[in-house]
Amino acid sequence: MLITYRILTILLWPWIFVFSLLIPGAKNFLRNRKEDKRRILSYPFAPKAQKVVWLHAASVGELDQCKALALVYKKKEPETFILQSVFSDSVRDSSLEAFPADLKFRLPLDFPWSYDFILDKFSPEVLVCMAWDRWPNLLIAAKRRRVQTVLASAVITPPKGFIKKKFYKAAFFLFDKILTSHPSGEEKFKELLGEKKFIKTLGDSRFDSVIQKIETSQREFRKPKNYSFSQVFLLASTYEPCEKLLLPLLQEPSLKNTAFWIFPHKTDPSRIIRLESEIRSFTSDYTLYSRSEFDSISSRVILFDVLGILAHAYRAADFAYVGGALHNRVHNVLEPAYFGLPLLSGPRITHAPEAMELNHRGGLFIIHTKEEVLEILQLSSERKEAIRFSNRQFVETGRGAAERIYLELKNPFL
């Protein structure tokens, strides 16, 4: 299976080059990686002068997992040189620049020859991928140089079909160690790879990133002064399917004392203009966050059109809907769970063990209709308090995962 994959990637290269000439997005994708390669090759580094660890994240969520681990390294081994790569262009340049690593870059496309210049120059001791990310040619190149390969905070959706199962098994078997985020993931990996494979549950380092971000913040977020609504329903990371389901609730008489705080997934001007129009079709009682002093806002609906506030705004909410799972996959549920909020989500949560566990515990509700939402928003105070305790406790159980992963990485090859 791996030989077939390697052959296919080689045959794919000419077509990718052609696409890059025709499609602007593909051209930018390759140009960014070409610039990163030039920067890496010119970076002043003395081979084997210090220990090197390579962390890799697929996207924004996995970068949070890497951040927690990188901070442990910076505390325990400040002399260790940390490489941090990402793949998705959804990771903002500013986020990458602010990451606590010595050298940050975008991962090359997974061809057999793509990583030689990195591995030869830096000779990392360990390569750590996060969650589910596995690039066979990267892992093969690392193993040939006796680099320890680890999948940390690991999760897996069991593959369906003979070919997909064979590929998953071949690709994941390239890791020396698989450190799962939850016991259920450990069972799934063992079912796929066998009992002899090194698979161990150490937790999800994203818990540490979430806890650290909230607890070290100096920002206090409260409801506006003299706010007249008895409860706040916060809608996080919303997409159009989310708003289509939830905005009609603005006309429900039983929710007249419930405020709606909306944080759309994207905040570009065209998206905000469209969303304002949608809100106006249900109510005129709304305010755009950037246009007013927050403490003086009295509107029932507040549309937040700036970044960096969501994780703190949960503190002032009573319920939280976390978007993405009506049409694709759920976003970060750990931040609102930290504050003990009852959570609502669409049904597509199987990729997120933390969301599934919160659902199992009764603190996250899967919703399909506005009637289901109405029922949840009218939970008794006793039930809300029980959920608050349970969700908060769940986040606490994940504290320290990054350090547990760090200690495991210090162990030599099995």
CB hemisphere CA count around 214 (13 angstroms)? 22
CATH number of the structural domain 221-398 = 3.40.50.2000
Instruction: Note the pTM of the prediction, 2 decimals.
Output: 0.84
Domains 32-203 and 221-398 share a fold: yes
Of 62, 354, 357, 403, catalytic: 62
Q: What are the boundaries of each domain within the chain?
A: 32-203, 221-398
- Quick: pLDDT tens for 234-281: 999 999 999 999 999 999 999 999 999 999 999 999 999 999 999 999
d(CA 264, CA 279): 12
**What distance, in Å, lies between the first and last C-alpha atoms of the chain?**
25
**Predicted confidence (pLDDT) per residue in 352-388, tens digit:** 889 999 999 999 999 999 999 999 999 999 999 999 9
Domain 32-203 is in which class?
alpha beta
For this structure, is 62 an active site residue? Answer: yes
CA angle, residues 43, 47, 51, in degrees to nearest 5: 100
- Choose among 325, 315, 322: nearest CA to 388: 315
Position 337 pLDDT exceeds 80? yes
Per residue in 24-48, pLDDT tens?
A: 777 888 889 999 999 999 999 987 7
